[in-house]
Structure 1
Amino acid sequence: MGRIAGWLIGTALAAAPTLSMAQELTVWDWKSGDPAAANYFAAVKTAFEAAHPGVTVNFVMQPHDQYYTLLGTALGSSSGPDVMLLHGGSQATSRAEALRPLNDMAEGFAGVADFTAGDKTIALPLTIQGFVVYYNKALYEAAGLDPSKPPQTWDELKAVCDAFKAQGTVPCFAMGNKEGFGGDFFLSSLAADLFTPEEQAQMATGDLPWTSPHMRTIAETWVQTSQDGWYPEGANATAKFMDEYEMFMRGEAANTIGLLSDVAHWKQFEEFLGPENVGVYVHPAPGTSDLRLPVSGGIGYAVNASSANADLAADLVKTLSAPEQAAIFAVDTGALPASTAVDTSALSSPTLGTILGLMNGPTSPLAHAVMAPTVMEEWHRQSQLLVSGETTVDDALARMEEIRLQAKSN
């Protein structure tokens, strides 16, 4: 399938210099314990330690649901790891002051903008990330739907969910919102279609009011789809990773909003359901015929500015992001690599072919990823309250606007 046109452009990174000193580098992440990524982490450790005699690399996997709390505490006390894995967007840029600039290393990567604060690139992206809806073709056929024609408009999506509700066998969508992540994925999926470029820019700077018409449409639609029975009961008690996706892979839901890259994605779903049973489409939104793929920089590595070994840590980031290592991560996990020099021909699959076609069409940033951390945390809470009926759209949006203004003033 070759290199991803339009995304993977540039040149390979230079090899790291050899140092000979007894030193130790610590890397924090939430992935080094994943068996699917084991070859990648082993290759990084082997390559870096061979090029830097006397240096030991230690990968420390932190719990994903506590990761940024632990990291914030560590960085706030000028301690913590030498290198850290970050999501693109505000989870990276909000910590820019604590991170070493990597501008001189950033050429040849897609998604760098999502790891840039002002004129400072603070992490090198490893992957490209985004959201699509995956669907079970066998369940579509059983419900009397044409599995070769996924919904392209909001009315068509409503008809699909009405068909599954009438059948009564499985819910239309798997949903996990225990941590509020289901609300994140829904917001970004609809915002990609609804937001104008100006609104996307305002979202990125924290200037888009939550009381704006499109924000209201998203919140109202979130409530309405829940009330219409699109999701299984207990969504607020279901973890998105991986309970929601295991439900989908067991054939207990017809659709799920999943990732483009490395987990809860095409590769994992094809392995469980078979390539012939997995379909993919862009989530429609009410009131528009536009379909835009929500996509941004995925995950990337940053250097702790307080590290006593910051230069050495920057060399480690080069190895973590280098084409040879990124290729291993891509092939083993199904990630879409951000490095320009990674050959993606080994990632061939029917579903991936559709995704790459979508990437060549209209795209839009991941709206939730650019929220200030306090705003994101509040949306997690409000999205749960809206599903449970413990708040109204008016009250939820008013509270979100209050937190947005507080975040802007800080």
Structure 2
Amino acid sequence: MLLTAACGNSGSNAGGNTAAPADTGAAKDSKPAAAASTPKKVTFWHAMGGTNQKVVEQMAADFNASQKDIQVEAIYQGSYDDLLSKLKASMGSPDSPSLVQVYEIGSRFMIDSKTTTPVQKFIDMDKYDLSQLEPNITGYYSHSGKLDSMPFNSSNAILYYNKDLFKAAGLDPEKPPKTFDEFQKAADAITKTGKASGANLAIYGWFMEQLLANQGAEFVNNGNGRTALATESIVNSETAVNTLNWWKNLVDSKAAVNLGRKTDDSKKAFLAGQVGMILESTAGLKGLVDGAKDKFEVGTGFLPKPSDAKEGGVVVGGASLWIMNDRKDDEQKAAWDFIKFLTSPKEQAYWHINTGYFPITKKAYDEQIVKDNMQKFPQFQTAVDQLHQTKSNTATQGAVIGVFPEARQIVEGAIEEALNNKKSPKDALDGAAKEITGKIQQYNKTVK
């Protein structure tokens, strides 16, 4: 299976540029249920590289120091794709992990693999209060009303803009564009100053998924694969075609510049003052604000959408934690105890300020370190508000298909074809939908 990284980042650098982990009072009060003469070992595979790897390792160390019954070993396994490949190779062997982090678009595969124990089992057993978690985050990882895995690193896409370029173009720097038309006008105005291109949208399938969900549009049939197994791609819907037409017109009219697929190229152009607006993950917020320091002020806004769009919102990206069912019951329970530690308000506050990912626990926002961080980075309030204002439906919960990584690449190819005038937006998306549908049907037969 061809796999690609999620949320604008590979596992090796997920979260963008972040500060080194600091001692912020990580929680040390976890109370595992089972005691043992020797600590129960939990092997945790993850894909958080760079500074985020240090944060994960610190959280595991804090958990280990908080009690004597369980010892967690956090092992970095490379990118999301690398990790999943290693996981497949280890399934059913003594080398498999107790707990594994898998990116969000790998969820359908994990369910179909039948190698995991849904965390709902432990939630029910412990009478764990799910209402303490963000519903628009847990909603992605829930199917048929049950939570299969625990969200870990979560992000979504927002609009970033250069306030200085807004001022130079005669635009109000405190009013980011909210609609497709307003975005086009703002980009036109910036381009006409001759100081920079108005905007850039990296050719990234995740952005197309976000723009569709923001309009209440689904990616595949059968309720985005949530009311029944998806059998057909609908990425060529009228909403999708209109969205790609808008995107193409931005480029054709010189309001936006096409810099290709790499989100890093988009961020570099933004920080260099070469483009006025970009779309990017919330996980990259600190890196962009810090990178623009002493050069220009970064503004943030909700994702734009047509003025007549249906109710929608953003789809969370990132990854979640899965408990493997080939481990002994007490080892699985130990993994669950570690998960509960990770989702505590103090740990979520620590995770948030050191990585830029959302806290999945509501009370984390009450922690003083989060309040202080929000004062330092007020732009993040946009991300929080956008998440909370998202209308929960099958569109914003995200599509669930076993070939999502391939589907994302196919959509990126279709966007390229349209922007490079090789096909019309409709023809490009018609071709993408047909190809994705074929892969979905082939996958479904394999699963059966």
- Shorter-chain TM-score: which interval? 0.7 to 0.9
Alignment partner, residue 109 of structure 2 = 94
Matches within 5 A, 1:9-408: 15-17=31-33, 18-21=35-38, 24-31=41-48, 33-35=49-51, 38-52=54-68, 55-75=71-91, 80-88=96-104, 90-96=105-111, 97-103=114-120, 104-105=122-123, 107=130, 108-110=132-134, 111-177=137-203, 182-195=204-217, 201-202=223-224, 204-205=226-227, 206=230, 209-229=234-254, 231-236=256-261, 238=262, 240=263, 242-260=264-282, 263-265=283-285, 267-274=286-293, 277-286=297-306, 288=308, 292-296=312-316, 298-308=318-328, 309-342=331-364, 343=366, 344-348=370-374, 349-363=377-391, 369-388=398-417, 389=420, 390-391=422-423, 392-393=427-428, 394-407=430-443
Cα distance in structure 2, aligned partners of 1:404 and 1:56 = 37
Cα distance in structure 1, aligned partners of 2:92 and 2:414 = 31
Cα distance in structure 1, aligned partners of 2:304 and 2:355 = 28
Cα distance in structure 1, aligned partners of 2:94 and 2:254 = 48
Counterpart residue type for residue 311 of structure 1: K
User: Measured at CA, do residues 403 and 173 of structure 1 come closer, stay the same or move farther in structure 2, by a change above 3 Å?
Assistant: farther
User: Measured at CA, do residues 218 and 346 of structure 1 come closer, stay the same or move farther in structure 2, by a change above 3 Å?
Assistant: same
User: Measured at CA, do residues 198 and 42 of structure 1 come closer, stay the same or move farther in structure 2, by a change above 3 Å?
Assistant: closer
Cα distance in structure 2, aligned partners of 1:368 and 1:91 = 14
TM norm structure 2: 0.73
Cα distance in structure 1, aligned partners of 2:311 and 2:385 = 13
Q: CA deviation at 1:301?
A: 1.8
User: Measured at CA, do residues 396 and 345 of structure 1 come closer, stay the same or move farther in structure 2, by a change above 3 Å?
Assistant: same
Contact 2:202–2:258 (8 Å) recurs in 1: no
Unaligned runs of 5+ in 1: 1-11
Unaligned runs of 5+ in 2: 1-27
Cα distance in structure 2, aligned partners of 1:227 and 1:76 = 53
Cα distance in structure 2, aligned partners of 1:291 and 1:15 = 42
The C-alpha deviation readout for 1:79-128, integer Å capped at 9, x for no partner, is 5322112334x422431222112123352322223222335422222354
Secondary structure at the counterpart of residue 134 of structure 1: strand
Cα distance in structure 2, aligned partners of 1:152 and 1:293 = 13
Cα distance in structure 1, aligned partners of 2:207 and 2:63 = 36
Aligned pair count? 387
Q: CA deviation at 1:42?
A: 1.0
Q: CA deviation at 1:21?
A: 2.0
Cα distance in structure 2, aligned partners of 1:233 and 1:360 = 31
Identical residues among aligned pairs (%): 17
Cα distance in structure 1, aligned partners of 2:441 and 2:54 = 43
Contact 1:28–1:84 (8 Å) recurs in 2: yes
User: Measured at CA, do residues 70 and 329 of structure 1 come closer, stay the same or move farther in structure 2, by a change above 3 Å?
Assistant: same
Cα distance in structure 1, aligned partners of 2:403 and 2:337 = 32
Counterpart residue type for residue 172 of structure 1: G
User: Measured at CA, do residues 317 and 191 of structure 1 come closer, stay the same or move farther in structure 2, by a change above 3 Å?
Assistant: closer
Counterpart residue type for residue 363 of structure 1: K
Counterpart residue type for residue 280 of structure 1: T
Counterpart residue type for residue 378 of structure 1: A
Secondary structure at the counterpart of residue 158 of structure 1: helix
Secondary structure at the counterpart of residue 167 of structure 2: helix
Cα distance in structure 2, aligned partners of 1:65 and 1:387 = 23
Contact 1:136–1:279 (8 Å) recurs in 2: yes
The C-alpha deviation readout for 1:11-68, integer Å capped at 9, x for no partner, is x99622343325543222221x332563453133232255135735132241245343
Contact 2:410–2:436 (8 Å) recurs in 1: no
TM norm structure 1: 0.79
Cα distance in structure 1, aligned partners of 2:95 and 2:361 = 29
Counterpart residue type for residue 234 of structure 2: P
Q: CA deviation at 1:134?
A: 1.2
**Which of the pair has the greater relative contact order for Cα pairs under 8 Å at 6+ separation?**
1
Counterpart residue type for residue 156 of structure 2: G
Contact 1:25–1:313 (8 Å) recurs in 2: yes
Counterpart residue type for residue 163 of structure 1: A
Cα distance in structure 2, aligned partners of 1:404 and 1:197 = 12
Decide which moves more: 315-324 or 17-26.
Answer: 17-26
Counterpart residue type for residue 435 of structure 2: R
Contact 1:130–1:296 (8 Å) recurs in 2: yes
Cα distance in structure 1, aligned partners of 2:333 and 2:176 = 50
Decide which moves more: 151-160 or 279-288.
Answer: 279-288
Cα distance in structure 2, aligned partners of 1:295 and 1:133 = 14
Cα distance in structure 2, aligned partners of 1:210 and 1:54 = 46
Decide which moves more: 64-73 or 329-338.
Answer: 64-73
Alignment partner, residue 8 of structure 1 = none
User: Measured at CA, do residues 246 and 120 of structure 1 come closer, stay the same or move farther in structure 2, by a change above 3 Å?
Assistant: same
Cα distance in structure 2, aligned partners of 1:75 and 1:223 = 44
Contact 1:141–1:147 (8 Å) recurs in 2: yes
